[in-house]
Amino acid sequence: MTSQQSEPLRSYGGEAGDARVARRRTALMEATLDELAGPEPGSVTVRGICERARLTPRYFYESFAGTDELVGETYDAVIAEIAERALTAFAAGDDSLDKVTGAVTALVDVIESDPRKGRLMFADTLRSPVIIDKRAAAAQLFVRLTSESATQALGLEPGPEVTAAAHFQVGGLGRILASWNEGLLDVDRDQLIGVCVRMLLPEERA
């Protein structure tokens, strides 16, 4: 939270003060996802987001210093969800195929259950400096996680070649998921997962 409370927030209507702030913060981030995932996404403004969330600017500024912070934290929350679910699924797998399939399935499940998150991650129409920077940082994060996963699951030695391969895989995976999320690929969910796994593990059969 950006602003600091000078004293504990009081309960109101049976809801604790901190819970009210968290609920309003979530509403603002959900409104931001709606705005950015729209057919013609425009600039995120305090007024527009507050209208979508049915909140006043006063409640906007209790959580965010401005729209750049709001957009950045909304993006970070989506990436954190995807990374956590994918890593959990990867860790639960019994072998390399099972691990990669689980991680890809977790990623697909996120964007299938909420296409707004897929658009936030991939849509070419979103060109704000905040999102561009966040996407670059997320790409580096997933390259690192992919490299570490390759050394763990496949027993590869870490090094420049593994990192280069991770860049290739992360970039290709992103384009496939972006196209599927936009309805440009005529494959169902299971076919999509199979294609992605074969791309990540070309020597395995998915």
Can you tell me the distance from the alpha carbon of 81 to that of 85, in angstroms, rounded to the nearest whole number? 6
Structural domain 68-200, CATH architecture:
Orthogonal Bundle (1.10)
Look at residue 77 in the predicted model and tell me its pLDDT: 96
- Mean pLDDT for each 10-residue chunk of the chain (206 residues)? 49 66 95 86 87 96 95 96 94 91 95 93 86 94 89 79 92 94 94 93 60
Q: What is the pLDDT of residue 192?
A: 96
Q: Torsions phi, psi of 123, nearest 5?
A: -60, 130
Torsion sign, CA atoms 16, 17, 19, 24: positive
Which ranges in the chain are annotated with CATH 1.10.10? 17-67
> What top-level class would CATH report for the domain 17-67?
mainly alpha
For CATH 1.10.357.10, the residue range(s) in the chain are 68-200
pLDDT of the residue at 203: 64
State pTM to two decimals: 0.84
Least Cα distance to 194 among 126, 93, 97, 80 occurs for: 97
